[in-house]
A and B are shown apart, each in its own frame.
Chain A
């Protein structure tokens, strides 16, 4: 192992790399079992001595609950803005299906934070999550269970290593087409909000493109939950 690799390994384990550097190092890890062994040994040493795993640089969670509350309050104060959910630590023990806002828009736009709803009222509204799961069975038509009514958070993978603003389009036959642009989160997911009545049960197609280039095409079927 070269001194540079040793330096990068230590920085990776210290959580001192930014997100892109961390991804670059993890690509190297996949190619280099000798480095992977040292990461594993580091984790084993920590576990053996009773320590907690270090936070990954890519997990931009607030350090404390107070910080999380403050961050959420700041977002809520901005008029007509998107309201990301806290992804990591939960404030007040609420589940992440409790979404802050009434999602009356047919299809809201996800932000870099991953989750978003337009803030149109003081109340909370629950939402069902539907996931376009292309990883497990890409050739089949994925069945996406939907509730009878209410808001739905549709999570769509953006299969691109390069950063891009993804355009996501949901098509159902010739008549229905919903479209939104969103920044994928650090895990390459966009989370879009729609009302249940915006789509019909039955076959649909989710198309994902970056800068006009089609990069994902997911045939699916909306079924009753």
Chain B
């Protein structure tokens, strides 16, 4: 396990491995903004490297400051990507590689496009009524605005949100199942205390 911040004592109370706790959230917000799992993964790794550097150099010392710093870093990385800018200087952090390889995994990392498509269609088919399917199709597939769909289908916000929330929760369950199948097959190959505990925490 690599935890040079704790070893050197440079990071104070904050440890480099603490960054991993934020990783599911970083991925989520990047994915929402990009809609691209591969880009999300690349940017999330960039964010992690940048924050680890900041901890190592003492720019963040207090655990309470971590999330705000991580959020700003994620926004900056996204901004740099959108502006098609390459970093001028790249910090070398080879020791981050093992930590990254044992990060809490996202189910999307294990899903091919066809699998994701099959899962989404399964969610759609499981919905109990035609109206519910129309909501999910309209919202996710056709990209229609919520007020428009509510008016067209004669629903109030609570009814609408309940259907969307149910579909989303079911999709999460299917993604979990997929992740458990994948990680179950490789579990044992990686036994880092920090990262596996983070991973469990992320799945709770």
Contacts and interface: CB of A to CB of B under 8 A. Distances in A.
A-B interaction = yes
Contact of B34 (A48, A53, A133, A142): A53
Contacts of A170: none
Contacts of A144: 88
A51 B171 CA distance: 15
Interface stretch (A21-29, A98-106, A116-124): A21-29
A149 interface: no
B26 A30 contact: yes
Interface of A: 6-7, 10, 12-14, 23, 26-27, 29-54, 56, 59, 87, 96, 129-133, 135-140, 142-145, 155, 157, 159, 161, 186-189
**Interface of B (DSSP majority class):** helix
Given A27-B68, A51-B141, A40 B50 contact: no
B71 A23 contact: yes
B28 A36 contact: yes
Interface in B138-158: 140-143, 146
B67 A31 contact: yes
Given A47-B116, A48-B116, A51-B140, A136 B87 contact: yes
Contact of A30 (B67, B87, B107, B116): B67
State the 5 A-B residue pairs at the shortest beta-carbon distance, nearest first.
A48-B120, A53-B35, A30-B25, A41-B172, A36-B28
Contacts of A50: 117, 141
Contacts of B37: 47
Given A138-B53, A155-B85, 20 more contacts: A6-B161, A26-B29, A33-B204, A36-B24, A37-B175, A37-B176, A40-B107, A42-B171, A43-B32, A45-B140, A47-B37, A48-B119, A49-B141, A51-B140, A51-B143, A129-B83, A145-B88, A155-B83, A161-B68, A188-B76
Contacts, number: 197
Contacts of B136: 45, 49
B2 interface: no
Nearest to B199: A33
Contact of B33 (A40, A53, A155): A53
A188 B176 CA distance: 35
Contacts of A13: 32
Contact of A161 (B72, B111, B120, B168): B72
